Every structure is written in C-alpha cells, then in structure tokens.
Amino acid sequence: MRKSFVGIIIVVACLLTACINSAAPLPGAATTVANGGTAPLTPVKLGVGYVPNVQFATFYVGIEKGFYAAEGLDLSLDYGFENDYLKLVGVNQSQFMVGSSDQVVLGRAQGLPVRYVANWYTQYPVVIFAKSSANITKPADLVGKKIGIPGPFGASYVAFLGILEAAKLKESDVKAESIGFTQVAAISQDQVDAAVDYAVNGPVVLAQQGITTTQIKLDDYLQIPSNGLVTNEKTLQDNPELVRKMVRATLKSIQYTLDHPDEAFEIALKFVPEAGGDNKAANRAVFNAALDYWKPQPDRKLGETHTEEWQAVAQLMQRIGLVDKLVPAEEMFTNDFLP
C-alpha cells in the first residue's frame, strides 16, 4: 500500500482565499414550526475542504434559500487545508463531509466507519489536460510525457492512476512530477506536457486566457462515484433523522441550483464576494462548468449511486495499490436516506 496516500482531502483547487458569509443563519437562530411557534436550529458543520469558492454554490443556495433551516438545521461550512475530514468524520468528531468514493474506500480500509449517503458530482471531475497543440487525446499518448500532479494524494492522484491503468500503463511509463496546485502556470509555460486537475479549474482558466486544451476523463474508461455527502455509522444509527434532513436539504439545494443557475451564482457571490468584480467572468465560467457535473444521470434519481460503481472503485483502489484489501461495496454507501 502506498504510505503517502494519507490524510486525503477533496482536491478542489480554489482561486480565492476569503469569505464573508453574511447570509448564513446566526448561531442560535430559530425556525418557524408547524404549530406557529419556533424551535432552535440544530447546528451542523459540513467539512468541504480548502477555501470558499463558487464551486460550493449548492450549499450557499441551501443556506440562503432556507432549505437547511426548513429542516431545522443551521448549516455552516468548514474549510481548511489542515483538517483531515475523513478522520474527523470517521471518529465522529464531525458528522458530515463532502467526499468521493475513493476516500470512503480508504477510510473503510483503515477501519473508519464512514458511509456515503448522497451523490453530488455525477461525473468524476478530475482530468488529465494538455494544450491542444500537444496532441494528447487518449491515455496511450501519455507515454514518455512529463505530467504535473499536485502530489501522490487525493482524488487527482486516483484519477491519474486510473487513467494510466485504462491504457495498461504504469507510473514508470510516464514522468510524473509533483507541482502542487500550479497546473495552469505549468501548462501555459510549457513546464510539463500535461497536468492533472479538476476539469472546472485548470482547463477553464486556460480557456479564459485563450489557450485551448484536450482532456482525458476517467469517466470515459471507468465510472466511480465522485463527490457526495459522507457521514459515519454512529450518526446513521443514533440520529438517522438528522441524516435524512441533511440529505433532503442538500438535494433540494442541488436541484434549485440547476434550475436557477443565474440566481444561484449571484447567491454564491454573497458568500464569496472576491469572486465578483473583475473576477466575475472567470468565476462564472468555473460555475458554468461545474453545473454539468451536478446534473443527475438519466437512469437514476438525484443523489443515487449503484453497487457496481462501488465495486469498481474498491477494485481500482486495490489494483493500484492504495489499499491492501478489497472493501465490500455494501459497507460504503446507502441510498436509504434519499427522498
């Protein structure tokens, strides 16, 4: 097992560094209940990783429109490089996080009782991208090329290894170089031949600069569940209604964002004011790209994942050496809390 693959957080490469969350409910706020009285909201913290960004618009929408408050929840988002949300949720120091299926596999393999309860990103958003002039359009084109990766960790690394595996390639067949989160500069300045990043980040930023890119998507070769709502077994057992409310409000927020993208983007700017002004056009492009990843697949309802996808990610993680045992699919997810 690769010892460097620890402390995973969701790799959402964000452009901004501060947030004024003026629209969030105040601690101790109350919500009107059916009998005309009020009841205190239950504080709920959701670990999302990194810094405020328009890519978290669905949660900003849910807070602003009162979808969480209507369920009796006072939702706040927890950002930060320093937090290992997988461990925090696994040991029940936190009840919810946004995580992808590969994280759930890793957590379960390490004995952390985490479980995925609702899907958000319906496609795996990490790609290997390159300038169009590099003629890198399929995994086989990567042989011998210098590829920039953030590092040997996280969703980016899983997608990188998964794409290589699709072409029956090993890491030694390419020249992987850890470049942190400098993918845009590395590609634009030809420091690497290709780089790994979220599709809604690097390729979108380069497009704003007039640089066209080609992208190799993991989904073209293997479908595994991407970012969604993750909790732990204790919360599921002791407070299933809390999970049901959290799932219901989150899915309502996703659907509202998809149905009202212009309003949703303006709501996001209230939470991330630095995304407006001179940065507004660039951030709207990022937001627009993200919308495609939030749309439900035609063969399923919003929030749903399937057993075969979980079997696929468990097998992938074992094959590429990130876990040393096959984690049973049925331990990692449930659709029971979907409305």
Structure tokens given for 138? 């399929």
Q: How far apart are CA 339 and CA 56, in angstroms?
A: 22
Domains of the chain: 30-123+225-331 (3.40.190.10), 126-220 (3.40.190.10)
User: How far apart are alpha carbons 316 and 123 in whole angstroms?
Assistant: 16
Please name which of 250, 254, 338, 249 lies closest in space to residue 290, comparing C-alpha atoms: 254
Report which of residues 86 and 19 the model is more confident about. Answer: 86
Chain mean position to CA 286? 14
Between strands 30-32 and 38-40, the pairing is antiparallel
Cα(264)–Cα(259) distance, integer angstroms? 9
Q: Note the pLDDT tens digit of each residue in 195-234.
A: 999 999 999 999 999 999 999 999 999 999 999 999 999 9
Alpha-carbon distance 94 to 232, whole Å?
A: 9
For 151-260, where are the alpha helices, taking DSSP H only? 154-166, 183-188, 202-208, 233-238, 240-259
247 close to 338: Cβ distance less than 8 angstroms: yes
Give pLDDT tens digits for 135-151. 999 999 999 999 999 99
CB proximity list for 130: less than 8 A, separation 6 or greater: 136, 187, 193, 194, 195, 213, 214
User: Per-residue pLDDT for 7 more than 90?
Assistant: no
Q: Answer yes or no: is pLDDT of 17 > 60.
A: no
73-109: pLDDT as tens digits: 999 999 986 679 999 999 999 999 999 999 999 999 9
Averaged pLDDT, 6-26: 33
> What pLDDT shows up at residue 50?
78
Provide the pLDDT for residue 325: 95
Element housing 230 (H / E): strand 228-232
- Report how far apart the first and last C-alpha atoms of the chain are (Å, whole number): 38
pLDDT per residue as tens digits for the range 300-314: 999 999 999 999 999
Is residue 178 helix, strand or coil? strand
